[in-house]
Structure 1
Amino acid sequence: MGEKKIKKNKERCTLQEILTIIGGKWSMSIIYALFPGKRRFSELERMVTGINTRMLVKELKNMEANGIVVRKVFATVPPTVEYMLTDKGKKLEPIIDQLYQWGVEYVGDGVT
């Protein structure tokens, strides 16, 4: 009986960690925008409607630190920066697609 309780607490903690990594308001939208492949910073800024530059930078840094995205800087003037999903990040695609489908079914109109 005590073993189940320990397992439950461990799962709950894991879920909290997952939400820390990808639970930001903008994280899933950014990851979704990166599914087709690498994107420049300015492309992401245009694709993720409503996000400001500061928040995009913050979310990308968090996802980079957690191994979800890779940042590549090119020595150009002005500097060119590209982001792409890591293998770890790509594994989120079916999960986010399922969440999207759930939203279409249960949230209704307005899910984009």
Structure 2
Amino acid sequence: MRLPVSRAMEVCPVEVAVAVLGGTWKLTLVKHLLDGTRRFNELGRLARLANTKTLTRQLRELEEDGIVRRTVYPQVPPRVEYDLTERGRSLEPLVAAMDAWGAEFTRQQQFG
């Protein structure tokens, strides 16, 4: 278990969720993986402002926390795919609610 997650467990369940999902691009990655399995470059195109190093780190943390599954196929060139675990799929209602809230917030900001 990652240290930030174990520390959050001593505080509050909300902090556990933030420790697992808080981080640049994590919720965006989960949102796109809810649509199905993706390769690294696909995720990079979908989160176009994310740099490769950050994307790699966030995917590794999500994998370590049991949200994302990484599958490497033994071929040349290597093929790596990411998909959500059952625990990751359980985030769908949360991600959908946050997506709707963010869209409404954006709309209000744009049209006052």
Common fold, TM-score beyond 0.5?
Answer: yes
Q: Could you tell me the percent identity over the aligned residues?
A: 38
| Offset of residue 11 of structure 1 | 9.4
Matched letter for residue 63 of structure 1: L
1:25, 1:76 → 2: CA distance?
Answer: 31
2:59 paired residue number: 60
TM-score, L = length of structure 1: 0.82
- Cα-to-partner distance string for 1:47-103 (whole Å, 9 max, x where unaligned): 112001110110000000000000000111121100000010011111111111112
Tell me which residue corresponds to 2:17: 18
Q: Secondary structure at the match of 2:24?
A: coil
1:107 match? 106
The separation in 1 between residues aligned to 2:58 and 2:86, in whole angstroms, is 18
| CA offset digits 1:26-64 (Å, max 9, x no partner) | 101000110111101111111112001110110000000
Q: How does 1:1-112 map to 2 (within 5 A)?
A: 13-108=12-107
Count residues in correspondence: 101
| Secondary structure in structure 2 of the residue aligned to 1:67 | coil
CA change 1:69–1:98 in 2 (3 A) is: same
Q: Please report the TM-score for the alignment, with normalisation by the length of structure 2.
A: 0.82
Moved over 3 A (4+): none
Given that residues 33 and 48 in structure 1 are in contact (C-alpha distance below 8 angstroms), is that contact kept between their aligned partners in structure 2? Answer: no
Bigger Cα Rg: 1
Deviation at 1:105, TM superposition (A): 2.1
Q: Please tell me the root mean square deviation across aligned C-alpha atoms, in Å.
A: 1.8
